[in-house]
Amino acid sequence: MKLLFLGTGSATTVGTDNFHSNMILVSDSNETFMIDCGSDARFSLYKQKMSHLDVNNIYISHLHADHVGGLEWLALATKFDPRCMKKPTLFICERLEKEIWDKTLSGGLSTIQYEIANLETFFHVHLIPVNGAFIWEDCEFKIVQTIHVMNGFSLMQSFGLLCKIKNFKVFITTDTQFFPNHLTPLYEMADIVFHDCETSTSMSGVHSNYQQLIGLPEKFKSKMWLYHYNPGTLPDARADGFRGFVTCGQYFDFNDPNTFLAI
């Protein structure tokens, strides 16, 4: 099984050298599992010689456009392309089911000729309880609520993944603020951490910033690959104790542990 990064950029990534931080797992039997589907998903898939035809399953972590903005395209493409023999399966936390339709998708997808459409029109929906888990291709995925955006009254629903794939425990943050007390147990459990990391000198407050992560203990940094970074020159992550910054198109092969090592 391989994990391919379709893009590694932030929500404000520009140009075609990098794309939103979405990724795709490809199993040994060639089944696929896409993790998030940002607004530029069709372009990032195309760059890897893939398309909607290659997306069998998808997980959505939260409702920001760089994670869900391409889902309307994917829904329409897979429904109306006669080459698609079955609907993709959508894995999503039960708390997001109503919001993803009402706030993100219904404006464009509910207007189907001669049909009152809903989420099930386009996807086989697999709802995951809060703190729940699911199995895909004999691999266990547990959703982990992260602290991403708080508006003063409520916490935006956003969920990372703790995965058990082959002999690896992998923590993918998706999007999270820097909360060591909340994240340390996950760093401890994981063999590999893919961590969102803004590199802007101006901290947004809704992502972990490089200047915060650099203060983590070496035993945690040595597990971490960094992604979801801003455009521009990057710090020397390897010199600072991390495994490095993931690059667009980089893949990690669970059958070859060497691909997880720093380049």
Angle, vertex CA 148, rays to CA 226 and CA 233, nearest 5: 35
pLDDT of 111 over the 90 cut: no
pLDDT of 115 over the 90 cut: no
| pLDDT tens per residue across span 193-205 | 999 999 999 899 8
How far separated are the first and last CA of the chain, in Å rounded?
A: 20
The token pair that represents 137 in the structure block: 């291709």
Mean pLDDT value across residues 4-15: 93
Residue 67: count of CB within 10 angstroms of its CB: 26
What span, in angstroms and rounded, lies between the C-alpha atoms of 146 and 133?
15
| pLDDT tens per residue across span 222-233 | 999 999 999 999
Mean pLDDT value across residues 75-84: 96
| pLDDT tens per residue across span 36-50 | 999 999 999 999 999
pLDDT of residue 164: 94
pLDDT of residue 251: 96
Q: How confident is the model at residue 154 (pLDDT cuts 50, 70, 90)?
A: confident
Q: In what order do the strands lie in the sheet with 192-196?
A: 133-136, 139-145, 159-165, 168-172, 192-196, 224-227, 244-245
What span, in angstroms and rounded, lies between the C-alpha atoms of 205 and 209?
8
Which strand (E) or helix (H) includes residue 162?
strand 159-165
Q: What is the mean pLDDT of the chain?
A: 95
The token pair that represents 120 in the structure block: 């099930």
pLDDT of residue 253: 96
The token pair that represents 55 in the structure block: 């997306």
Q: How confident is the model at residue 239 (pLDDT cuts 50, 70, 90)?
A: very high
